[in-house]
Structure 1
């Protein structure tokens, strides 16, 4: 496969438009795309709507309290989720999390990538088998 001249021009324009600061931002935001907890939170909020911390934790078996809190903070920092503190202290603090338009955009743009991975899973597995050294 070889990229067309139009595809090459598109990639070149994107690379030229990225400043050093944008490149760092791109890597940080893309790290969410490869992180199971970040994507899990975006998916859950996208499909279930606004949830509290405890509800998110119940919906994500295997996530630790620390990892959930850390991931929520990173997603909020990048504008992918919103956090609303009700300023309620009794009987428990109440904070709700919801997907922002930016988070919805990321989630929706992940669909083609996920579809591509699923459609090509057999080829990925075959390539990995070919790359594994054989025991002699």
Structure 2
């Protein structure tokens, strides 16, 4: 990404050997914007998210002897299954959001690369 940004800077500022047509400048600016947007979204994907978890005290109750000798063991198992189900559903939802953001970042990156290629073609055809 750093190489691309420096390349954009050199291309936009121009030199005696390289003069960009106006259409190529616009495409290069759009490509830069799309690629930087992809980077921002990818960084956001890397942020940690809060996952639903069982409290320490709740886990300790599961191994308490009174819990295992309780005649209502079926109810205890149902509550344990409910907690596990809630944790899994929450984790899948959070991971789904991250996957969607990452897909968006990849789409932005592809659009940026295509736009960059169009700008390069306009430059080559304009000279």
Q: TM-score, with normalisation over the residues of structure 1?
A: 0.24
Q: Which fold has the larger relative contact order, with Cα–Cα distance below 8 Å and residues 6 or more apart in sequence?
A: 2
Structure richer in helix, relative to its length: 2
Larger radius of gyration: 2
